[in-house]
């Protein structure tokens, strides 16, 4: 931990005032002369936003069964549902698309994509997929199965669902600080090494792979330290178990390591990423996040036999191994996006502009997960709506209210997403969060100022928000298509 972060963790109140003192606006310029951080790009083409009335939004959310996933995006003003596939591509990515070669096998676009992936993640085998969950489906089909346990700091929803679909158990073991929205810790996404060691010492034979999600999306977008990845790697290898990364937000995680971890500030981001990769035996990737793709993903790994089994599943479900569910043009866009994702000017802007939203909400007393994560601000709905019990879904209630008030679409990450257990019971999630995910390079500071105004106004009325019950619940990944009604 760097000295600055040691101090921050020692005295939380000092930490809060210090973060705010240092960062009242988008600040911390590169050359120290001026402190405002600007978007390191200018706008090249624009998309119109449709402004709706309150009564239009009332009707839209009711038609959607009070599920924000069911809304027509035309009825949304600021769409913070996800940062997945929603970012703006660069001029150079659009140019790269023109080089897309759509040959079925052995396209030059594939070789450019493979080289770009291996430049940062030098795994022996790269298996392209149409998005992250396809990579998960393939690896857990091969490595999962009944009686197996897959540990992770926190499984993302699709990861958990794919583990469970194979018959294996998905076990979360983030450090205790990762469950407390208010605790300040520089690497709240770290896996609990003691818990992991206990499991491996008792039953390593039942653990086909250990996963680390960087950054930890379901736990507040919090980073994992290099030291934690190194220690997890040593532990796994001591017990002969491979370590895999769920690496969607690898560049944001590497930036946090660069900023917060002792001895890392002088390093290139790409160098930190390569070291992270060198500690793992494989990875899954949703390229719709840090690699700036609107679609795409991959599975990469070193083991020849496992790779062969995975390619067999790939051919069955995705496509030939040199395109795997993607068009040549997508492969080109991703190869270029990977180069842009590790640029320090972009990452400085990205992380600071997310914190700008979180710090502003914190300053007006809206409870948020702290410190602010990389790709999103997470509002602690359990604290803001203490009158709504977890199984009446306080996060869903808040997310609906943000849409009704200001056309902002967010995402519940709490009991709607996680409470239903494989045995059919409903157990409240560890946290009831509402995620405001920031699409990459998409919204300006005034859009975010509007979000701050809307959230602040809804938070003032939080005591009047109702709980919800589900009127339709699908069997798996219920949050995507469930329907609700308010409990009056």
Ligand X SMILES: Cc1ncc(COP(=O)(O)O)c(C=O)c1O
Query: Toward ligand X, which CB reaches closer, 162 or 404?
Result: 162
Query: Toward ligand X, which CB reaches closer, 213 or 233?
Result: 213
Is-contact 113 93, C-beta < 8 A? Answer: no
As measured in angstroms, the least distance from the Cβ of 84 to ligand X is 4
As measured in angstroms, the least distance from the Cβ of 388 to ligand X is 26
As measured in angstroms, the least distance from the Cβ of 47 to ligand X is 22
| Of residues 120, 126, 129, 109, the one with CA closest to residue 332 | 109
Distance, in Å, from the CA atom of 52 to the CA atom of 408, rounded to the nearest integer, reads: 11
Distance, in Å, from the CA atom of 220 to the CA atom of 188, rounded to the nearest integer, reads: 9
Query: Toward ligand X, which CB reaches closer, 34 or 480?
Result: 480
As measured in angstroms, the least distance from the Cβ of 155 to ligand X is 8
Query: Toward ligand X, which CB reaches closer, 248 or 377?
Result: 248
Starting at the edge strand found earlier in the chain, the sheet holding 125-129 runs: 125-129, 297-301, 282-286, 243-246, 210-213
Pairing assessment for the beta strands 169-172 and 149-152 based on DSSP bridges = parallel
Distance, in Å, from the CA atom of 291 to the CA atom of 478, rounded to the nearest integer, reads: 28
Query: Toward ligand X, which CB reaches closer, 279 or 285?
Result: 285
Is-contact 176 197, C-beta < 8 A? Answer: no
As measured in angstroms, the least distance from the Cβ of 132 to ligand X is 3
As measured in angstroms, the least distance from the Cβ of 215 to ligand X is 8
As measured in angstroms, the least distance from the Cβ of 315 to ligand X is 19
Query: Toward ligand X, which CB reaches closer, 141 or 286?
Result: 286
Query: Toward ligand X, which CB reaches closer, 170 or 401?
Result: 170
Residue closest to ligand X, measured at CB:
132
| Of residues 168, 160, 62, 223, the one with CA closest to residue 413 | 160
Query: Toward ligand X, which CB reaches closer, 204 or 295?
Result: 295
Estimate the share of the chain in helix, then strand, then coil, as percent rounded to the nearest 5: 45, 15, 40
As measured in angstroms, the least distance from the Cβ of 325 to ligand X is 11
Taking CB atoms within 8 Å and a gap of at least 24, the contacts of 166-172 are 166/140, 166/141, 168/140, 168/144, 168/208, 171/199, 172/430
CA angle in degrees (0–180, nearest 5) for 110-115-116: 100
In the chain, DSSP finds a helix count (H) and a strand count (E) of 18, 14
List contacts with ligand X (CB under 6 A).
Answer: 84, 131-133, 156, 158-159, 213, 217, 246, 248, 286, 288, 297
- Tokens for 385, please give them: 């709506």
As measured in angstroms, the least distance from the Cβ of 257 to ligand X is 17
Query: Toward ligand X, which CB reaches closer, 132 or 208?
Result: 132
DSSP class per residue in 372-426: --SSEEEEEHHHH-TTS-GGG-HHHHHHHHHHHHH-EE-EEESHHHH-B-TTS-B
Query: Toward ligand X, which CB reaches closer, 135 or 400?
Result: 135
- Tokens for 310, please give them: 């995975």
As measured in angstroms, the least distance from the Cβ of 248 to ligand X is 5
By the 10 Å C-beta count (0-12 exposed, 13-18 middle, 19+ buried), 41 is classed as: middle
């Amino acid at each position: 931990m760097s000295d600055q972060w040691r101090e921050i963790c020692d005295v939380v109140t000092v930490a809060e005032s210090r973060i705010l003192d240092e960062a009242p606006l988008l600040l911390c310029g590169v050359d120290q002369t001026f402190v405002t951080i600007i978007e390191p790009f200018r706008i090249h083409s624009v998309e119109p936003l449709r402004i709706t009335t309150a009564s239009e939004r009332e009707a839209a959310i009711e038609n959607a069964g009070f599920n924000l996933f069911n809304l027509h995006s035309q009825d949304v003003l600021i769409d913070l549902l996800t940062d997945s596939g929603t970012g703006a591509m660069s001029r150079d990515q659009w140019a790269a698309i023109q080089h897309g070669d759509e040959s079925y096998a052995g396209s030059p676009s594939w070789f450019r994509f493979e080289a770009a992936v291996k430049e940062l993640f030098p795994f022996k085998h790269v298996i392209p997929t149409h998005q992250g969950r396809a990579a998960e489906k393939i690896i857990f089909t091969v490595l999962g199965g009944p009686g197996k346990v897959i540990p992770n700091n926190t499984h993302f929803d699709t990861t958990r669902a794919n583990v469970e679909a194979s018959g294996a158990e998905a076990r979360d073991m983030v450090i205790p600080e990762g469950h407390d929205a208010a605790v300040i810790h520089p690497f709240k996404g770290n896996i609990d090494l003691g818990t992991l060691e206990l499991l491996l010492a008792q039953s390593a034979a039942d653990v086909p792979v250990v996963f680390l999600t960087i950054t930890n999306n379901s736990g507040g977008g919090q980073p994992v330290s290099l030291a934690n990845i190194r220690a997890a790697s040593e532990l796994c290898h001591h017990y002969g178990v491979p370590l895999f990364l769920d690496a969607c937000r690898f560049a944001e995680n590497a930036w946090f390591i660069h900023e917060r971890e002792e001895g890392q500030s002088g390093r290139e981001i790409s160098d930190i990423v390569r070291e992270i990769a060198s500690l793992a035996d494989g990875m899954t990737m949703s390229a719709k996040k840090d690699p700036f793709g609107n679609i795409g993903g991959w599975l990469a790994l070193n083991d020849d036999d496992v790779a062969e089994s995975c390619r067999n599943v790939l051919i069955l479900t995705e496509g030939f191994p040199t395109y795997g569910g993607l068009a040549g043009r997508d492969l080109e866009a991703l190869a270029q996006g990977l180069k842009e994702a590790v640029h320090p000017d972009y990452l400085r802007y990205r992380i600071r502009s997310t914190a700008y939203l979180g710090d502003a909400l914190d300053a007006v007393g809206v409870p948020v997960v702290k410190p602010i994560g990389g790709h999103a601000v997470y509002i602690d709905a359990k604290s803001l709506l203490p009158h709504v019990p977890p199984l009446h879904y306080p996060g869903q209630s808040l997310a609906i209210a943000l849409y009704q008030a200001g056309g902002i679409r967010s995402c519940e990450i709490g009991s709607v997403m996680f409470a239903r257990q494989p045995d059919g019971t409903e157990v409240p999630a560890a946290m009831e969060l509402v995620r405001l995910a920031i699409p990459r390079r998409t919204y300006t500071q005034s859009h975010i100022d509007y979000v701050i105004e809307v959230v602040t106004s809804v938070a003032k009325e939080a005591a009047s928000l109702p709980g919800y019950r589900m009127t339709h619940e699908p069997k798996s990944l219920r949050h995507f298509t469930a329907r609700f009604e308010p409990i009056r």
